[in-house]
A and B are shown apart, each in its own frame.
Chain A
Amino acid sequence: MNALECRRIQKSFGSVNALCDASLSVRPGEIRAILGGNGSGKSTLAKILGGVVRPNQGEIKLFDKTCSIRSPRHSKRLGIVITSQELSLFTNHTVETNLLMCDIPRSIGVFTNRARVKHVGRQVMDELNLSHLIGKTVAELAANEQYMVEFAKALIQKPKILIVDEITSALYREEVELVKQMLFRLKENGTAVLFISHRMAEIYSICDSVTIMRNGETVATVGIQEKNENELLSMMSGRDVTDVIHSHTGSVATADGPPLLMAPQLRLSRFGTQFDFRVQPGEFVGIAGLQGHGQSDLVRTLFGMRGSVHLKLEGQDLHVSSPRKAVAARMAFISGDREKEGVFSVRSLSENLAAVKELVMGQTGLAADAVLREQGVKFASAKQPIRTLSGGNQQKVVIGRWLVTNPKILLADDPTKGIDVQARLDVHHMLCRLIEKGSSVVFVSSDDEELVQLAHMAPSARILVMYEGKIVRVLTGLDITTENIISASVPRGARFK
């Protein structure tokens, strides 16, 4: 018996085929990884199972019974639960209310039973070592805590089929370990799990099998032991990726001469720390460290998002008091939070592309189609709303928006968060072309490997490692390795106090 069987599912949005032939079957107690690039249809498949999107064609069977999932409510009744990176939490409600949102316990059949909400919520949070969050509103939680609450909310619903859509990318290692234990417990109880992730290590340690998707099709399903990492990546992108990732291993130079940007005594207000910061022309500056140690604050402060800041750009004094001033000085900023700080979701691709160049800088005459093609965006028409694109393609449009302004310096705050290997490589190539033109890039990433790859692609590069709002280590040349970044990120003893 299969817990879930999808046969030849097809879905198109307008003229874009999101899914053209998706078929898979999962047994009870199986943890199945879904691996695919952006636009490969993973999210659409998850949304169809969740009842948010209706397929055009195809058959879905749950425990050997054919179902057509009509709505999220129907999907939940069938025992399907989704935890997604677009969190389903309500920021104005408390953690425990959110946990029980889908099945609120009542007293005498009418009133909300607050005591029971708290009790059941605490039980689940105890298992995840998070009972101290009970009573707080979700708005007060850090990102990783919100993701754990999202996961706990799924557990509480006792799913028969659980879809985990990329929540692990925002979690710390210990939390991923907890998620893994919980998934194993569900597995013992016969729950079928679809695990969508880009992290190979997690897939290998958690999943039993893997289904690879490409361009809206399920390409293959294999046991997890049957293929190694490079083989999976090759199947996913449809070409051999081993040489792409490791091709630039030459030595890395550091640039001398007058700096492009100087920030004397740059102050990070959240940490109360101060340091000098400089960027050379044509340089790649990677900012590394554990999450939340001031990397994001650094680039946001430079872009005038934390109040007024004094900079020297090409030797000229510059007061940046708002992002508008920063744009006027030909600086650019890309956020990893597409939803909040990147896309104007209901506007078209061309409007999204022109947002800064036309509306802020007042320059017209942007050939949207040509730019979109050049950035490798998969699209039907420049007039389609940007939300019809996959996450990776949306981010390419956002990056394109800034590239057309010819920035002297591009600040990026984890811009490839949650996008797949292929789109990530495309983004890296876009940035490299910018550096080749003489611009500089300051790049924050939570993925150390990504920083190392980028550093080796750029003609000159430095990696700054941050801890508690300070730069604790500068890596150059052959010292730029993931091992060095990790060892500098986790300080020992009182070295930095």
Chain B
Amino acid sequence: MNILKWTTFPVLVLVIVMAVINSVLTPGFLTMSSLSGFLGSYAPLVCAAVGSAVVLFGGGIDISLGSIVCLVNVVFITMQGYGWNVLTSAALAVLVGVGVGALNGFVIGFLRVNPLLTTFSTSSVAAGVALWIMPTPGGQASMDFVTWYNGNWLGIPTPVYFIAVVWLLWLFLSKTPIGIWLYALGCDERKAFASAISVAWLQFFTYVFAALATGIGAIALTGSVGSGDPLVGLPISLNAIAACVIGGISLMGGRGDSFGAILGALFLGLVSTTVLAAHVPPFYQDLVSGVIVLLGVIGSVSLSRKPKLVS
């Protein structure tokens, strides 16, 4: 395979560059404990980015993932507050998140409403429900769970398992015909319909999968912050999409792979870490990281083939 044609190649270069800059700014960044902390903070974004990627492959877009994170987080914490055990409350919380995804998928796939509009609305609904359940930040996750998440399990940092579960789930699905149909759908919806592909069900599936991946990410996020906050996940909505674009996934659908989304999310994490490590005054942190991300997107897009106006 020609490495320059590989859509993930540019973001791989970016991640390596940022990792090198980070280890120069913060000696010891590449140690196990530091990396483990880094993964702990960004595993939620990585999970959501993989979910977002699957929606983008099929030519859709989902901007409700951040709200799903908020909802899953507050449900998870609230259930634990009622004395449910971690596993049951996590499963129920993820199920609630999947419910939002199913709503997205039903409205977009079967009622044929525009995805941007649909997920914008459901994003407000989910965030609203989260605020209703928990009007102010609070609650406490089980200490056992928080310790487990922030430590190692079987010798590997626990956040890696969250990423692995989501990614392997997608890799499994992508080896079935769904993988082929999804890229076909992203390439041309009408042709997909005419080729006897179940367009509506496939779209339904992508939004459900995105919500599931994001829900798993939200459990990770709760392990990282240790409490409930109805606004905690909102930045993830657009960061997950940005991670995909940096990872070489086309917003037009049908192009890119999930590994790119993972690397894109790690790149965004590395940028934030770098800005902190470089002691940029808080007022300028957004500006600096914004400029770096913009350069990253430009670099990533110009390295891969792009649609040209002059042919």
B196 in the interface, Cβ–Cβ < 8 Å? yes
* Residue numbers in A under 8 Å from B193 (CB-CB): 52, 72
Given contacts A92-B254, A93-B183, contact A102 B196 (CB under 8 A): yes
Q: Please give 10 more A-B residue pairs, beta carbons under 8 A apart, in addition to A52-B194, A71-B196, A305-B311.
A: A73-B196, A87-B191, A88-B194, A89-B191, A90-B188, A90-B254, A92-B184, A92-B186, A111-B175, A112-B177
Given contacts A93-B187, A305-B311, contact A88 B180 (CB under 8 A): no
Q: Chain B's nearest CB lies how many Å from the CB of A268?
A: 13
B176 in the interface, Cβ–Cβ < 8 Å? yes
Q: Chain B's nearest CB lies how many Å from the CB of A71?
A: 8
B143 in the interface, Cβ–Cβ < 8 Å? no
B26 in the interface, Cβ–Cβ < 8 Å? no
Asked if B194 and A112 sit within 8 Å, CB to CB, the answer is no
* Residue numbers in A under 8 Å from B198 (CB-CB): 73
Cα–Cα, bound, A322→B309 (Å): 10
Q: Chain A's nearest CB lies how many Å from the CB of B110?
A: 14
A407 in the interface, Cβ–Cβ < 8 Å? no
Asked if B187 and A92 sit within 8 Å, CB to CB, the answer is yes
Given contacts A76-B196, A90-B188, A92-B254, contact A306 B183 (CB under 8 A): no
* Residue numbers in B under 8 Å from A93 (CB-CB): 180, 183-184, 187
Q: Chain A's nearest CB lies how many Å from the CB of B69?
A: 31
* Residue numbers in B under 8 Å from A92 (CB-CB): 183-184, 186-187, 254-255
Q: Chain A's nearest CB lies how many Å from the CB of B283?
A: 43
Asked if A307 and B183 sit within 8 Å, CB to CB, the answer is no
Asked if B177 and A306 sit within 8 Å, CB to CB, the answer is no
Q: Chain A 98-121 against B: per-residue CB contact (8 Å), 1 yes, 0 no?
A: 000110101000111000000000
* Residue numbers in B under 8 Å from A71 (CB-CB): 196
Asked if B179 and A112 sit within 8 Å, CB to CB, the answer is yes
Which 9 residue pairs are nearest across A and B when measured between Cβ atoms?
Answer: A73-B196, A104-B177, A90-B187, A90-B184, A92-B254, A111-B175, A92-B187, A76-B196, A72-B194
**Which chain B residues numbered 141 to 196 have a C-beta less than 8 Å away from chain A?**
175-177, 179-180, 183-184, 186-188, 191-196
**From A153, which residue of chain B is reached at the shortest CB distance?**
B195
**From A100, which residue of chain B is reached at the shortest CB distance?**
B180
Q: Chain B's nearest CB lies how many Å from the CB of A294?
A: 15
Contact of A306 among B175, B186, B194, B311 (CB under 8 A): B311
A50 in the interface, Cβ–Cβ < 8 Å? yes
Asked if A102 and B195 sit within 8 Å, CB to CB, the answer is yes
- Chain A contact residue count (CB 8 A cutoff): 26
B310 in the interface, Cβ–Cβ < 8 Å? yes
- Chain B contact residue count (CB 8 A cutoff): 22
**From B184, which residue of chain A is reached at the shortest CB distance?**
A90
A440 in the interface, Cβ–Cβ < 8 Å? no
Asked if B180 and A101 sit within 8 Å, CB to CB, the answer is yes
A-B contact pairs, 5 of them (CB 8 A): A75-B196, A93-B184, A97-B180, A101-B184, A112-B175
* Residue numbers in B under 8 Å from A88 (CB-CB): 191, 194-195
Asked if B184 and A110 sit within 8 Å, CB to CB, the answer is no
Cα–Cα, bound, A306→B311 (Å): 6
Cα–Cα, bound, A76→B187 (Å): 21
**Which chain A residues numbered 283 to 309 have a C-beta less than 8 Å away from chain B?**
305-307
Asked if B177 and A106 sit within 8 Å, CB to CB, the answer is yes
**Which chain A residues numbered 63 to 96 have a C-beta less than 8 Å away from chain B?**
71-73, 75-76, 87-93
Q: Chain A's nearest CB lies how many Å from the CB of B177?
A: 4
**From B178, which residue of chain A is reached at the shortest CB distance?**
A112
**Which chain A residues numbered 10 to 58 have a C-beta less than 8 Å away from chain B?**
50, 52
Q: Chain B 187-210 against A: per-residue CB contact (8 Å), 1 yes, 0 no?
A: 110011111111000000000000
**From A91, which residue of chain B is reached at the shortest CB distance?**
B187
* Residue numbers in A under 8 Å from B187 (CB-CB): 90-93
**From B256, which residue of chain A is reached at the shortest CB distance?**
A92
**From A117, which residue of chain B is reached at the shortest CB distance?**
B180
Given contacts A72-B193, A88-B195, A102-B196, contact A112 B180 (CB under 8 A): yes
**From B254, which residue of chain A is reached at the shortest CB distance?**
A92
* Residue numbers in A under 8 Å from B311 (CB-CB): 305-306
Contact of B195 among A72, A306, A322 (CB under 8 A): A72
Cα–Cα, bound, A90→B189 (Å): 10
